[in-house]
Structure 1
Amino acid sequence: MTSAPDDQRPDLPALRDAISSGDPVRAMPALTQLRFCSDEEAVPLLVLGTAQKPFLVRSLSCSGLGYKRTEQGWQVLSRLLVDDEDSNVRAEAANALASYGVERSWPLLRSAFEADDAWLVRCSILSALAEQPEIDLNWLLDLATLAIKDGDGTVRVSGAEILGRVVRDGADQPLGDQARALLQPLQQDVDHRVVASALNGLQVS
């Protein structure tokens, strides 16, 4: 945990005042100062930030809750992932939830991916989970199968990239063959980026 020398310790009442103002010019620098606070000090103020009107303040607050992890933060992020009106905030909530561990976050993120059709949210979920080295390849195959059916090319690209990883990491397993079979039709995708990702994935030996 990062901490500041005593003479540089943040003034918590001043930070609370700045964050609760809802003014991004005041609130966002205050939120960044919370990295010098303990989790117990920072999380209530980050939660306060998630209740402010400007989406930039809510988004940065969600990001902070991915570093300052407590049960209160988890509960708030879980709600924002589903309920926030702004896709930027939902995407940051997804990233932050993944930092609590793939075993715990998987059910929430899998459900959100299926329910939320915003490309930014879906790409954030794909990226956050694909970065987890310990994730079950079956889970990645499941998620990628959904992603390659998306109407947005960027989401399909991410899905194709994940299939390529499953082909590589699951080469000696049946799911490696399943991933390869899903990549084959993507060579005819209307988006050239998807085609390129599919070809890359199929070239894995």
Structure 2
Amino acid sequence: MDSANLESRIDSPNPAERMAAIAELRHCSPGVAVPLLKRRMCDKEFIIRSLVAGGLGRQNTESAFEALITLIEYENDPNVRAEAANSLAKFGECSLPFLLNLFEQDTHWLVRQSILAAVSAFDHSEILLQLCQWGIADDDIFVQQAALAYLADLSGTSSEEGALAVLLPLATVESADIRAQVARSLGYFEHPEAKAALAELQHDKDHYVIGAALERLLLV
């Protein structure tokens, strides 16, 4: 592939041309792709910066990893930060300290949901439990619900008791949305206390919660 041509296109004043060039970089070696991707980290178009973040995630090099950390640190658009977090997770367990710190510092719902999804793919139940606890304390209902949903992944792990310690008290909160998500997550646990709480939720005052409590039974 003509690297000189790619270099010219990636600096094109036409955003569509820049996007096409970034897409082609997936076929290039890291030695070619990473420096060109880094040139567009401050592009005025957020969609291009997002494509850069995705492109860096396909380059398994220290330089690409460091570029993603820099991008996250200085990026103002949450869509780009979320994409960068997803890409960072592709580098494996070395990304976990950075993702944990980002979740703690960045309260945007899209970024936090992206990190929850990324970390759930790792075999680190303690870290996922910590993120879920932070997420449940979030002011955003979507982050709260996502965190409650990922607690279901802790069934059968060393963090199962910790997950239940979070879920069980929330089975009686005022919010029907929260009770419903708690019911869905409890359905994945075989613990007697989880089954008892789920049985109570099947007689909830809200039909939406009852439906959520019965979902797992219908799938078994």
**Normalized against structure 1, the TM-score is what?**
0.85
Paired residue type of 1:152: D
Q: Distance in 2 between matches of 1:151 and 1:181?
A: 20
1:128 corresponds to: 118
- Contact (CA 8 Å) 1:148, 1:156: kept in 2 or not? yes
Runs of at least 4 residues off by over 3 Å: none
The correspondence of residues 61-76 of structure 1 with structure 2, limited to 5 A, is 61-76=52-67
Cα shift readout 1:99-140 (whole Å, capped 9, x = no counterpart): 000x211111111111111111111111111123xx211111
Distance 1:19 1:185, change over 3 A: farther
Distance 1:169 1:80, change over 3 A: farther
Larger radius of gyration: 2
Cα shift readout 1:46-97 (whole Å, capped 9, x = no counterpart): 1112121111111101101111121111111011112211111111111111
Q: Distance in 2 between matches of 1:169 and 1:137?
A: 10
- Contact (CA 8 Å) 1:22, 1:53: kept in 2 or not? no
Task: Give the 3-state SS of the residue equivalent to 1:69 in structure 2.
Answer: coil
Q: Distance in 1 between matches of 2:46 and 2:13?
A: 10
Distance 1:18 1:149, change over 3 A: same
- Of 155, 158, 182 in structure 1, the residue corresponding to residue 146 of structure 2 is 158
2:167 corresponds to: 183
Task: Give the 3-state SS of the residue equivalent to 2:60 in structure 1.
Answer: coil
- Contact (CA 8 Å) 1:15, 1:30: kept in 2 or not? yes
- Of 122, 126, 143 in structure 1, the residue corresponding to residue 131 of structure 2 is 143
Paired residue type of 1:127: A
The root-mean-square deviation of aligned C-alpha atoms, in Å, is: 1.6
Structure 1: gaps of 5 or more residues = 1-8
- Of 16, 19, 22 in structure 2, the residue corresponding to residue 25 of structure 1 is 16
Q: Give the CA deviation at 1:22.
A: 5.3
**What is the number of residues matched between the two proteins?**
188
Distance 1:57 1:112, change over 3 A: same
Structure 2: gaps of 5 or more residues = 191-220
- Of 91, 96, 111 in structure 2, the residue corresponding to residue 106 of structure 1 is 96
Q: Which has the higher contact order (CA 8 A, sep 6+)?
A: 1
Cα shift readout 1:6-62 (whole Å, capped 9, x = no counterpart): xxx3x2222222222353211111111111111211111111121211111111011
- Of 73, 82, 106 in structure 2, the residue corresponding to residue 91 of structure 1 is 82
Q: Give aligned-pair identity as a percent.
A: 37
Q: Distance in 2 between matches of 1:191 and 1:89?
A: 33
Q: Give the CA deviation at 1:157.
A: 1.5
**Normalized against structure 2, the TM-score is what?**
0.80
Q: Distance in 1 between matches of 2:32 and 2:174?
A: 50
Distance 1:22 1:47, change over 3 A: farther
Q: Distance in 2 between matches of 1:195 and 1:63?
A: 36
1:169 corresponds to: 156
- Contact (CA 8 Å) 1:18, 1:26: kept in 2 or not? yes
